[in-house]
Chain A
Amino acid sequence: MSSVEDILAAENELTHLLGAQQAVVLSTRIRLARNLDGMPFPGWAKVPQRKEIADRCVEALDALPKFRRGHVLRMGELGDRDRAVLVERHLVSKELAAGKSGAAVISRDQTCSVMVNEEDHLRIQVVKAGWHLRGTWHIAEQLDDALGGSLKLAFSDRLGYLTACPTNVGTGLRASAMVHLPGLCLAGHMDKVSRALNQDGLAVRGWLGEGTEAAGNVFQISNQQTLGLSEEAILRHLGGWIKNVVEQEWNARRKLAQEEGEKFVDRLARSLGVLRSARLLTSSEAMNMLSHLRLACDMGCLPEERRHLVDRLMIEGQPAHVQARAGQELDSDGRDRRRAAVVREALKDFPEVVPPTA
């Protein structure tokens, strides 16, 4: 079994753990950009230097208790589909997957993953299901300290952690929340919310990060500024806004449910109907209808304990995941057919949608 198959087969809190999922906030993510002192950044380093960087970083990471019995994946040794699966799971970025000299070290529970030789030598990432800003930060902080103990990191008293891009220098910290905002989208308020967040220094992106569309009403909200603010200030700023966005999302949902009445329930019930009987499902169609099911679970229209199944289908309905499960390359029709079958099977004993209680 390849390591990527292992990752797919393992139960982890984003897709399986009952009770880890929350309404609105799908996951919390902390990313720290770090570099080795005295080595050129990956984009400027020569091939042998990149190899040396990868070896040094992987060796240091592999020795940390956090990664015991975890996975060490060298991008150059993986097939296209395996790399695409890692991107769809947000374990590595598209940029890392595109190059040959990158590597990823992933903890057994898949909450910690460190990209080596992406734009920076090290990109530490910690992801938790639901909204846990402090807890996620503490894990990242511990990893950072442990790594700083075994590697000499590039740091300047005046500029902080030195990074390849000026947009990351200082703390190197990108804190983000993956939020599901069907209420604000349906009410047509998303542009306004996005603008307000942008003006206060937060970025709003689609499901797969930079430059992607917001399929399934899922957005990633993160800080932009990394210099001149302490980690504490960055987290507090993001935390305040997420709390605010979650509140506004609930207001929009309640208003919609109240004003639309039966139409609101009908919309959710139709999505369940289509997902339960469709023979061909495109990726974006599936995402948008699963978004309705998640909304239904949050609002008490479907049992809350089904929410993790919806989250799992959102992740496993992506093209590379569908093909990995099928164990073969599939053309677009083949993927849509296979996706529909997986979704049908997963939803076959779902109860009917009932009027909201939340």
Chain B
Amino acid sequence: MSKPIKCSLCEEAATVHLSQVVHGNVTKVHLCEACAQKGGATDPAVFQLADALTASTPAPTLTCPKCGFTDIDFRKRGRLGCPSCWETFGDALGGLLLKVQHEASHVGRAPAGTMPTGQLRRRLDVARLEMAKAISAEDYEAAARLRDEIAEIEKQLAPL
């Protein structure tokens, strides 16, 4: 008899086996009863998450100096310990982020009044691209909104 397959999210024996086909790529996820029940079985993000978790080789143990969370904890929970964990595990999570999010950096809003210059410049680039897209899609309402946003960002960047 072969060894029982372990759950992709915890260490229990897997009893639920899922396959997903996207663009001809087959992804298989094995889950234990409890993890499958938690609702993960229908969430496509879980496939990507579980895939990234199982594919990565056992990394040397990283520990967040702020909260004591380790990479083993992340493997078990799929969640981080505190905001500072993002610094500690940032590099290790890079591949996973690309898989789950397809992007590696933020271009959206920032807490009121704290948008850093770099962020503003990036947002400006993206807003210009989005406006061009909106115009070619003849979504003039969105284009007008973006035009206003671009003007606003340019005004904020002007004194610098």
Contact = CB atoms under 8 A, between A and B. Distances in A.
Interface stretch (B2-10, B11-19, B43-51, B55-63): B43-51
A226 B105 CA distance: 10
Contacts of A333: none
Nearest to A172: B108
B108 A169 contact: no
B41 A169 contact: no
A341 B136 CA distance: 55
Nearest to B43: A210
Nearest to B123: A230
Interface residues of A, number: 51
B150 to A, nearest CB: 11
Contacts of A226: 101
A164 B89 CA distance: 12
Nearest to A42: B79
B44 A198 contact: yes
Q: Which of B90, B110, B146 has the most chain A CB within a 10 Å cutoff?
A: B110
Given A43-B79, A211-B41, A232 B22 contact: no
B27 to A, nearest CB: 13
Given A211-B37, A211-B40, 9 more contacts: A37-B83, A157-B119, A159-B90, A159-B106, A224-B44, A230-B107, A230-B109, A233-B126, A233-B130
B75 to A, nearest CB: 13
B54 interface: no
Given A44-B69, A199-B22, A227 B112 contact: no
B101 A44 contact: no
Contact of B108 (A39, A43, A229): A229
A227 B101 contact: yes
Contacts of B90: 159
Q: Which of A171, A203, A226, A228 has the most chain B CB within a 10 Å cutoff?
A: A228
B159 interface: no
B145 A225 contact: no
A43 B118 CA distance: 32
A79 interface: no
| Interface size range of chain B in the complex | 35 or more
Secondary structure of the A side of the interface?
Answer: loop
A41 B44 contact: no
Given A44-B69, A199-B22, A205-B42, A153 B111 contact: yes
Contacts of A224: 44-45
Given A157-B118, A159-B86, A170-B101, A44 B81 contact: yes
Interface of B: 22, 37-45, 49, 66-67, 69, 73, 77-84, 86, 90, 93, 96-97, 100-112, 114, 116, 118-119, 123, 126-127, 130, 134, 139, 142, 145-146, 149
23 contacts: A38-B83, A44-B67, A144-B109, A145-B112, A159-B90, A159-B105, A165-B79, A166-B97, A167-B100, A169-B97, A170-B101, A198-B44, A205-B42, A210-B42, A211-B40, A224-B44, A225-B101, A227-B101, A228-B101, A228-B102, A228-B106, A229-B103, A230-B130
Contact of B67 (A35, A40, A159): A40
A158 interface: yes
B41 A231 contact: no
B90 to A, nearest CB: 8
A164 B85 CA distance: 9
B82 A171 contact: no
Contacts of A210: 39, 42-43
A156 B107 CA distance: 11
Given A211-B39, A232-B130, A160 B106 contact: yes
Given A37-B83, A41-B81, A170-B108, A232 B145 contact: yes
Contacts of A82: none
A43 B134 contact: no
A228 B103 contact: yes
Contacts of A231: 108-109
Nearest to B45: A167
Q: Which of A156, A160, A233 has the most chain B CB within a 10 Å cutoff?
A: A233
Interface string A42-65: 011000000000000000000000
A37 B83 CA distance: 7
A226 B78 CA distance: 17
A166 B112 contact: no
Nearest to A146: B112
Contacts of B105: 158-159, 227-228
Contact of B112 (A35, A148, A156, A228): A148
